[in-house]
A and B are shown apart, each in its own frame.
Chain A
Amino acid sequence: QVQLQESGPGLVKPSGTLSLTCVVSGGSVSSNNWWSWVRQPPGKGLEWVGEIYHSGTTNYNPSLKSRVTVSLDKSKNQISLKLSSVTAADTAIYYCTRSPYDDNCWGQGTLVTVSS
């Protein structure tokens, strides 16, 4: 059974860059899947951030596109997220997920707070 585990700094300063990784166990990031990042501000709804295919093809939320990079590291079997120029509005739980529209494979999420 595939398991996903997000990790990264829990606190990021305003104007800094948020960097998270998602380690995949029990499966391979090279499998025929899209890997997504979804975030959820405290007490609010879900927002899709972006996705990457095993080939490296990416798609991003248009509202975040200028600040987001999603990448794959096949040697480490992990997916990464970078979000630049962060503000308090980027404070959220960040989830890593595989093909969320037809699969049920989510990490537990990691809370990132943007604050000085």
Chain B
Amino acid sequence: DIVLTQTTLSSPVTLGQPASISCRSSQSLVHSDGNTYLSWLQQRPGQPPRLLIYKISNRFSGVPDRFSGSGAGTDFTLKINRVEAEDVGVYYCMQATQLITFGQGTRLEI
């Protein structure tokens, strides 16, 4: 099984400042088709999760450009350029290279 381990944020984050969350995989997430199926999701309180980033760095439709993803192989990062109040919630990395697993989640507080 692939295990995803996320970092915790030093809390709370200051409005307007950047924030970064890391996700490390127990094995390479490069699929045999050449793609890396690493996504980032946001879950606001009381809401279902929402896809932000797919295949490492592709922003989903409607996601603000202050969100960006990077990384390769086993190490990945979600960056928020300037944190806004609406960004409060829990962030999950997710892999779909081999079945599906989620990281344990990282809480962003302001």
Name the residue among B95, B99, B104 with the largest chain A CB count within 10 angstroms. Answer: B99
B-binding segment of A15-23, A71-79, A83-91, A96-104: A96-104
Given A62-B1, A101-B39, A102-B39, CB of A47 within 8 Å of CB of B49: no
How far, in angstroms, from A106 to B96 measured CA to CA in the complex? 17
Contact call B94/A101, Cβ cutoff below 8 A: yes
Asked if A30 lies at the interface with its beta carbon under 8 angstroms from chain B, I say no
Query: What 1/0 flags go to A43-55 for Cβ under 8 Å of B?
Result: 0011110010000
Kindly report which residue of chain A lies nearest to residue B99, judged by CB atoms: A59
Asked if A25 lies at the interface with its beta carbon under 8 angstroms from chain B, I say no
Asked if A33 lies at the interface with its beta carbon under 8 angstroms from chain B, I say no
Asked if B51 lies at the interface with its beta carbon under 8 angstroms from chain A, I say yes
Asked if B101 lies at the interface with its beta carbon under 8 angstroms from chain A, I say yes
**Interchain nearest-CB distance for B105 vs A (Å):** 5
Kindly report which residue of chain A lies nearest to residue B60, judged by CB atoms: A104
Contact call B55/A95, Cβ cutoff below 8 A: no
How far, in angstroms, from A38 to B50 measured CA to CA in the complex? 13
How far, in angstroms, from A46 to B101 measured CA to CA in the complex? 9
Give chain A's interface residues, CB within 8 Å of chain B: 36, 38, 45-48, 51, 59, 61-62, 95, 97, 100-104, 106-109
